[in-house]
């Protein structure tokens, strides 16, 4: 194979991975591929049951909070900060939408400056650099996302998982002949779970849940978790759970080197959660269960519906008020 043909093959493969990533995250954020919001499904409420309030945007949430005498602006801003410190900058996990923030605009940042910020421990800069490499160097992107995770980002763990799943879906090992890329692939699989990209992807999702706790789990993440867990043997599940526990420990050590908290256990002021999600998480029947480290005893819970008419628990955790 000539050098030109090899480059064309790699570029085509990476384009397929990039397209998969775009479509996957558009689905997770409830937006179409062009960034526009999907139309919500029609509501088919049961007339014999009380209907929880529907929260589709900040206005709906503010109305509900203000009815309880809560300063909605301060609370929502505090929740945004909670997300930012965990790498979810630029996304609104309350509503599954993308917002415009300075961190979203890589054109305003010189790459040399980003690299310097990344080297100094800035997780947002590391994630921005990783995003730039998604098309040209998937394994370089994974390395930078791992660095971002060790700098405090929970979101980076989910991005690694999605990239690994994309590589498996695209049939990387069968489609690529470049020896350097194949070596990177071998290193990833050797360091992962059972020499499997799928199991390693699941391991990173479980690691993210251990790190971010139930506030980061929405219906889309639960569906992703269920899909990756489908048809696993008990030995494979145990291997994933054990690997995720070790990986979070390794990431915690990396955070300590960067002067960051090993695991951030502070509770957000508000968040949506999938009802009874802890009963549906993997690892509970293994020696490596997912521990819920946040104290939610003082949180009130209100049943609400999202834009897709899915039931959620709105936790309000204003302990100091």
Angle, CA 99 vertex, CA 64 and CA 130 arms, to 5°: 135
The answer to whether residue 46 scores a pLDDT higher than 90 is: no
Q: Could you give the CA distance from residue 7 to residue 3 in angstroms, rounded to a whole number?
A: 6
Q: Could you give the CA distance from residue 218 to residue 277 in angstroms, rounded to a whole number?
A: 9
Q: Which residue has the tokens 């199991």?
A: 199
The answer to whether residue 121 scores a pLDDT higher than 50 is: yes
pTM, whole model, 2 decimals? 0.83
Give me the pLDDT at residue 23, please.
Answer: 47
The parent domain of residue 280 ranges over 3-35+52-316
CA 319, distance to chain mean position in Å, is 27
Average of per-residue pLDDT values in the chain? 82
DSSP state of 270: E
Q: Is residue 291 in a domain? A: yes
Q: Model confidence at 33, in pLDDT bands (50, 70, 90)?
A: very low
The answer to whether residue 212 scores a pLDDT higher than 90 is: yes
DSSP state of 45: -
Q: Is residue 90 in a domain? A: yes
Angle, CA 315 vertex, CA 313 and CA 316 arms, to 5°: 150
Q: Is residue 147 in a domain? A: yes
Q: Is residue 15 in a domain? A: yes
The answer to whether residue 182 scores a pLDDT higher than 90 is: no
Q: For 90-108, how does the pLDDT look when each residue is reduced to its tens digit (9 = 90+)?
A: 666 677 655 444 444 444 4
Q: Is residue 183 in a domain? A: yes
Higher-confidence position of 141 and 31: 141
Q: Is residue 42 in a domain? A: no
Q: Is residue 45 in a domain? A: no
Q: Which two tokens stand for residue 299?
A: 């949180």
Q: Tell me what percent of the residues of the chain surpass a pLDDT of 70.
A: 77
Q: Could you give the CA distance from residue 62 to residue 233 in angstroms, rounded to a whole number?
A: 45
The mean per-residue pLDDT over the stretch 247-259 comes to 94
Query: Smallest Cα–Cα separation from 273: which of 299, 242, 246?
Result: 299
Q: Is residue 46 in a domain? A: no
The answer to whether residue 5 scores a pLDDT higher than 90 is: no
Return the SS3 of 300: strand
Whether 317 and 296 have beta carbons less than 8 Å apart is answered as yes
The answer to whether residue 243 scores a pLDDT higher than 70 is: yes
Q: 55-69, 148-162, 163-177, 277-291: which range is least confident on average? A: 163-177
Give me the pLDDT at residue 170, please.
Answer: 81
Whether 159 and 145 have beta carbons less than 8 Å apart is answered as yes
Whether 157 and 211 have beta carbons less than 8 Å apart is answered as yes
DSSP state of 271: E
State the total domains in the chain.
1
């Amino acid at each position: 194979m000539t050098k030109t043909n090899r480059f064309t093959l790699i570029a085509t493969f990476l384009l397929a991975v990039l397209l998969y990533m775009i479509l996957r995250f558009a689905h997770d954020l409830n937006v179409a591929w062009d960034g526009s919001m999907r139309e919500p499904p029609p509501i088919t409420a049961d007339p014999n049951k009380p209907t929880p309030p529907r929260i589709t945007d900040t206005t709906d949430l503010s109305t509900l909070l203000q009815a309880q005498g809560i300063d909605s602006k301060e609370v929502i801003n505090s929740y945004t900060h909670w997300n930012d410190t965990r790498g979810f900058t630029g996304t609104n996990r309350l509503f599954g939408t993308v917002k415009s923030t300075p961190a979203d605009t890589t054109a305003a940042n010189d790459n040399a400056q980003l690299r310097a910020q990344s080297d100094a421990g800035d997780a947002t800069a590391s994630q921005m650099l990783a995003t730039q490499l998604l098309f040209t160097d998937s394994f370089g992107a994974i390395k930078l996302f791992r660095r971002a995770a060790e700098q405090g980002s929970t979101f980076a763990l989910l991005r690694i998982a999605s990239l690994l799943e994309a590589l498996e879906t695209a049939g990387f090992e069968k489609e690529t002949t470049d020896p350097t890329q194949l070596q990177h692939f071998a290193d990833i699989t050797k360091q992962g779970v059972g020499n499997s990209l799928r199991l390693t992807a699941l391991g990173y999702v479980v690691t993210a849940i251990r790190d971010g706790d139930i506030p980061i789990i929405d219906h889309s993440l639960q569906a992703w978790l269920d899909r990756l867990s489908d048809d696993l043997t008990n030995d494979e599940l145990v291997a994933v759970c054990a690997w995720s526990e070790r990986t979070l420990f390794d990431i915690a050590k990396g955070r300590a080197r960067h002067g960051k908290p090993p695991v951030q256990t502070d509770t957000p002021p508000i968040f949506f959660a999938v009802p009874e999600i802890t009963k549906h998480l993997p690892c509970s029947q293994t020696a490596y269960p997912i521990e819920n480290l946040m104290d939610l005893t003082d949180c009130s819970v209100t049943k609400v519906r999202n834009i897709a008419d899915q039931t959620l628990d709105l936790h309000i955790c204003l302990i100091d008020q």
